Amino acid sequence: MTNSFTHTDVFPLISRLITDQTNKDSDFAPHADIVDFLLGTAEGVELIESAQTANKLGVNGTASKRVANLAINTFADILHVAHPGWLEYEAFDDEGNAVLLKDLGLKRVERPQSGTDQKNRTNIAYCLRDTLRKTTGIADLDFDSDGDIALRYGSMVVFARVIDAPPVVHLFSPLLRDVEESPEVIDRLNRLNGGSRQLRYFYREGTVYGVADIPAAPYVGKQVIKSFDYFCQIAGDMDKLLQNEFGGNTMCQEWMPSVARH
């Protein structure tokens, strides 16, 4: 083998090792294990030694570990998907019409919308704002600079916005911050997702999020508030529960009553 160490050499091998390990025991493969997998194959050792020779690092265990770590870190940075909740999909029927696959549990790819779609989504956003104003009694409740409507519920903050075509009301809340990534955290969120069809949980860059989508075509204010209240009640209990298990900080340290009227 020539003294090369490009992504075309090593990335397919890393991907295959991760896939093989996941298929073998259906478990989260942490960084240190992937490094060991890479150094535990003849092909991986050959690639690592090639990189060491090319960069005059010397062929020894310490250098091998360092190069393997670099390869895995680069792979993660380039192909990073923190959680399936960040994946998107597109689906079409035989005539090319977009198909919504609710049971898939992933977000649809957002394409540039027509003028009519954008106007419809804007109208629904104002309906959502008016519904939340009436329900909460907050007369000046409005959109923030990102187009979200933010509400505090207990120790969490819930953001609501209208997205997609057909439109949905998208709810999301950063439930827990400063959480260290671990197989236990990912496994816990996977188990929560397996037991819930309306709420999804995912981890990204030290934060655990809760998300839910409410169909908004047609827009029915009572249904939106019912789903919103359900999201708040379930996710509002989850931040404290996960904090007890994994540490971290909730969005708001002091509890306050629900902003919604019941």
pLDDT number for residue 153: 87
pLDDT tens digits along 5-28: 455 566 677 777 776 766 666 556
Alpha helices in 55-147 (DSSP H): 61-78, 115-136
Rounded-to-integer distance, Cα 121 and Cα 147, Å: 12
- Among 2-6, 113-117, 192-196, whose mean pLDDT is lowest? 2-6
Q: Which residue has the higher pLDDT, 7 or 223?
A: 223
Strands 168-176 and 156-163: what pairing?
antiparallel
Nearest to 234 by CA among 202, 185, 199, 188: 199
CA-to-CA separations, 234 to 85, 96, 175, 201, in angstroms, rounded: 18, 38, 11, 12
pLDDT number for residue 33: 80
The answer to whether 161 touches 107, Cβ cutoff 8 Å, is no
**DSSP characters over 130-172:** HHHHHHH--TT----TTS-EEEEETTEEEEEEEETTTTEEEEE
